[in-house]
Structure 1
Amino acid sequence: MNIYLIGFMGTGKTTVGKILAKKLGKKFYDLDELIEKKVGKTIRDIFIDDGEEQFRKIETEVLKDVAAGRDYVIATGGGLLTTVGNYEVMKESGVVITLAASAESIYERLKDDKSRPLLMVDNVIDEIKRLMFERAPLYIKADYIVDTSDVPPEKVVDEIMEFLDEL
């Protein structure tokens, strides 16, 4: 069974995913890193050069490739669920866990990160809130939701492990 970590950017999917994979003895994949390797460009450059629509197509292809495997922990991009069908791909091969955080926590984590194309706007905190609100119905479909706002990654992993033990 694969474990998919979904949620808004900056919620800790990669950090938590690496720790979780190590504890479970599973292989870890970061979808954004796989996309960058496949295309040979950064996510930011794909958005700039090819647009979000093309990025989302590539993202779905890479998700399907990874979903064909088993026993992986996979950190997804924050907008993965905006593409119809991606949730179903994950559910067919694993469990889906949302990492959530407050807009303020996300802003603090990402305010100096210039690699986030969707945050290249004048009022970043308003854009975070807008995107979070827009995506909330997608994130709440998960099998489990963990708030990472003021929680160390190790504690988030412990909470996920408790959930997985109950499956």
Structure 2
Amino acid sequence: MLGACRTGITALTERLGRPDRAGLVHAAMGVLSAVAGLSMAPVPPRVPLATRWRTATAAAFALSLPLLWTDGLAVLYAFVTVLGVAYAPHLITVFGATEPAVPPTRLAEAMAFATSALVGGQALAIADAGRLAESYGPAAALACADGEPTPYVRGAGGTLPARVPTGSPRTGGS
């Protein structure tokens, strides 16, 4: 979900004519994510990892939905910053679930494998979402993050693809 969402955000900043802002938008997401991650420390151990995982996953899904209809940079910053609250708790929970599942002597290896699996999963999602963004626009990549990619039909006033062909004037909304 994170990889596809990041791809959609990058494609959206490009469509908005501000590809130079993609890194700053991702950084905005990271700020609240870090705060949310630090706030996980006082969560009592009696809250099961499965409950934490489901909560973080549901939050990431729900908080990413508004991105499908985002059409301005300021709104994008706001939504992405709030979306960040779901990511660190999700990652912390994934690693927290790994620890009791393996013998202590294999913990470092298991954490390395979990990290590699997360990075590999993101790479696959980025590749797939990138293709969707190129063919159908940012909303398709973002929909992929939400699990339901659907193409759009470009019409008068419709969503622009992620890339506008070189030499073409930018058309549609502002």
| Greater per-residue helix proportion | 2
TM-score > 0.5, shorter chain as reference: no
Higher gyration radius (CA): 2
Q: TM-score scaled to structure 2, two decimals?
A: 0.28
Q: TM-score scaled to structure 1, two decimals?
A: 0.29
| Greater per-residue strand proportion | 1
